[in-house]
Structure 1
Amino acid sequence: MKKLLLFICSLLPVLSIIIPSPVLADSKTLPTGDSYEQIGQKIEDFYKKNEKTSAAMETAVFDTNGTIYRGNFGYIDKEKQTKADDSTIFEWGSITKLTVWISVMQLWEEGKIDLETDIKNYLPKDFLKHLNFDKPITMLDLMNHQAGFDEQNTYLKGDKSIEELMKTRQPNQVFEPGTTTAYSNFGTGLAAYIVERISGQSFSDYAHEHIFKPLEMEKTAILPDLSDNAYVYEKHKEVKSYDANGNYKKDSDFELSLYPVGRATGTLDDLQKFAQALLKKKELFKHPDTWKTLYTASSTYPGTDIPLNAHGFWYQEYGVRVIGHGGNSGGFSSYILLDLESGIGQVIMTNQFQEKIYNYKMPELVFGPKKSPNKQSYAKFHPGYYRSARTFNSGPFSFLRTVPGYTYYINEKADAAQLNGDFWVASESQGQEKITRAYGDALRQSNWDLIKDYGMLLLAGLAILFSEISLLTNAGIDLYRLILKNPKRRLH
């Protein structure tokens, strides 16, 4: 009996190594402090709470070693009751832009591009026609969305090349480079065009060869018609799109000609491969220093050292600081979020337009609640009407800047829906007050600015009304004269 007890005692140290203890399992925690084992139930409960306004949602939480949790929820076709599964494809929206910035950094690593030189060096002579400032635009300006470009409609169908679109759809430059963050599809498209010129490849071919193929992303397409991946092309036909309330949305698909800014489409598994590679920092680049440069802040919140953008990646202030990019297309919303410190990431894909519950709120289950602005920002903040820097500041569509989506009131609590509960910093420069948050600035409007804008809108409306009345009046007079000239017609 004594020998048996001694034998069992001798095995205990070995067994303690082979069999993980509960303490060891619980030591793997998310940034919220929750254990890996808890996140699945939390996400499932979150979905049940919001199921009535949902369509399909897929998400994965992962670390550098693998998947912590993966879930498929809801329907890609509510009418047919077709459930989302591992084979479902979703559109990335603007997450696609990350392929542009990765491509730029690959060329930078090879010494083929300088991020701080005038981009004119990489473009045909006199290519940009509407520059209004002497300060040159650099690739960093494009990455930071600080080149100063006005909003431009780039959501066009057709078979125009990126070069043709860049030539024919040039917006005005309305801000001095490096001064204002105004999210720009044109700026990203211009960077993709530069990638084409330097590499000698179409952007689609470059992305497949240098990003998708190395990461074994075999179910992702990027061309406007999705013809570069037969699987995605066919599966895309199965997915219906819905609005943020879960109602069917017609005409949600559009073949985005400027595809590098938002057309990538594929499975959640492929998006996770891409995101996990960004988290692990072992593929896509040849040298570790390139990763260090990529994730170094290239722009900060005004007057602070808080990072805003890192070479095209946006920082977000949740319970911890995360980096990534969101995306919206005509009928899909998606997100990549990475906590580089803890090595935890999350990807989210939905078939709902402008979806915010899963893309904005659900990440708090992983990364903690969003941080509020600090006291210094509130001290500099003044309530009033603000206008997104990303708007039609000039040209024939400038009247659109007055609509609520672009111009809105922010009260003393700064809880306007347009801010999405994000972290922000208030600042003032050269008499212009603004609020800066991820993806762009909002500029405070004076009463005189608003009077001018709405006055011009009113005058335009009156002019149209006067023209219509004049046309009707003239038509009536002509008819009256015609009747007078032919008395017989008055008898009938």
Structure 2
Amino acid sequence: MTDLPNSPSTLYQIASLSKTFTAVAVMQLVEKELLNLDHPISQYFPDFPNGETITISHLLSHSSGIPDYLKGNFDYSKEWIPIDIVNTVSDSELEFTPGTSFSYSNTGYVMLGLIIEKVSGQPYANYIEEHIFEPSNMINSMFTVPDDLPKAEGHIEGKVGPLMHNSAAYAAGDIISSAEDLELFDRALRNNELISKKSLELMGMTHAKKFPNQYGFGWYTQDVMGKNAVGHPGGYPSGFRHYVTRLNDEELTVIVLRMR
């Protein structure tokens, strides 16, 4: 632990803000015609129950009905293999018929990470580094922080938060970044350097909803004081709470990274 003051370059575990990166990666692969949003996940998880009725689009929009593995008695502290995370809910019933409602499911984004790996032939982290971090010039974003680099430490009620192993989130939330780098990511999206304008607009459309939530692909869809917007919260039980809000029709994005 250090006493360095916080700054725009401070490294944070950004938690569920990572989901937007996963969604962008999926859209890149769709543009390359390596994925189809309407294809069933049974193509990638042949043994997953009801996989023939759940599509990639359902995973992206949290409309699959697959239970969230974090709702159970999940051990955050140990190292996890992604498929083992998926298997923790493989015997559970769907919460609803796919495509008929919304229920936030980290499991779906873990599955998307595995699909990215299968289709691209790269480990998830390597794909994100090569196809999102590098073209966005996000030189201070990573998946593992070297020992000689200081990073923000989560706190709860003034005390250091419990240990959370990064692998417990995988493609649903294991990116480490800074406010500065998240601004670079936002700028790259606005300049269509990562995905096309059409794909970006598709991400920002509402694809699933259940009051009071509306969700696109990798973002909540919102109305902010009459402005069309998207955004996402992020948090870890280790003591972090973050939020990003992005006005779609204006050059304004608000990025908040903080400890509880």
| TM-score interval (norm. to shorter) | 0.7 to 0.9
Q: Is residue 144 from structure 1 mapped to residue 144 from structure 2 by the alignment?
A: no
1:166 aligned residue (60, 65, 86): 86
Q: Is the 8 A contact 2:37 2:56 kept in 1?
A: yes
Question: 1:260 maps to which residue?
Answer: 171
For structure 1, the 5+ residue unaligned runs are 1-75, 353-492
- Tell me which structure has the larger Cα radius of gyration: 1
Structure 2: where are the runs of 5+ without partners?
Answer: none
> Following superposition, which runs of at least 4 residues in structure 1 exceed 4 angstroms of deviation?
none
1:292 partnered with 2:201: yes
CA distance in 2, matches of 1:240, 1:121: 40
Q: Aligned ranges for residues 117-132 of structure 1 at < 5 Å?
A: 117-123=39-45, 125-126=46-47, 128-129=48-49, 131=50
SS at match of 1:198: helix
Choose which of 209, 221, 228 in structure 2 pairs with 1:321: 228
Residues 288 and 151 of structure 1: is their aligned pair in 2 closer, same or farther, counting only changes over 3 Å? closer
When residues 345 and 86 of structure 1 are mapped into structure 2, their CA distance, relative to the original with a 3 A threshold, is closer
What residue identity is the alignment partner of 2:200?
W
SS in 1 for 2:160: coil
Percent identity among equivalent residues? 23
Q: 1:209 aligns with which of 130, 133, 151?
A: 130
Contact 2:219 2:230 in 1 (8 A): yes
Aligned-residue RMSD, C-alpha: 2.6
Q: Residue deviations 1:387-446, cap 9 Å, x none?
A: xxxxxxxxxxxxxxxxxxxxxxxxxxxxxxxxxxxxxxxxxxxxxxxxxxxxxxxxxxxx
Cα distance 1:234–1:310, how it changes in 2: closer, same or farther (>3 A)? same
The one-letter amino acid of 1:316's match is Q
* Number of the residue aligned with 2:252: 344
Corresponding residue for residue 176 of structure 1: 97
- Are the counterparts in 1 of residues 67 and 89 from structure 2 also a CA contact under 8 Å? no
Residues 1:107 and 2:32 aligned together = no
- Looking at structure 1, the residues matched to 197 and 95 of structure 2 have their Cα atoms a distance apart, in angstroms, of 38
Matched residues, number: 253
Instruction: Identify the residue that residue 242 of structure 1 maps to in structure 2.
Output: 155
Q: 1:92 and 1:251 mapped to 2: Cα distance? A: 15
RCO (CA 8 Å, sep 6+): is it higher in 1 or 2?
Answer: 2
Do the aligned residues in 2 keep the contact of 1:94 with 1:326 (CA within 8 Å)? yes
Instruction: Name the TM-score, length of structure 2 as normaliser.
Output: 0.86
**TM-score normalised over the length of structure 1:** 0.48
What amino acid maps onto 1:332 in structure 2? F
Q: Distance in 2 between matches of 1:167 and 1:313?
A: 25
Matches within 5 A, 1:43-442: 80=3, 82-123=4-45, 125-126=46-47, 128-129=48-49, 131=50, 136-153=53-70, 156-170=76-90, 171-222=92-143, 226=144, 229-230=145-146, 234-236=149-151, 239-243=152-156, 247-257=157-167, 258-278=169-189, 280-285=190-195, 287-299=196-208, 308-319=214-225, 320-329=227-236, 330-352=238-260
Q: 1:253 Cα deviation (Å)?
A: 3.6
More helix by share: 1
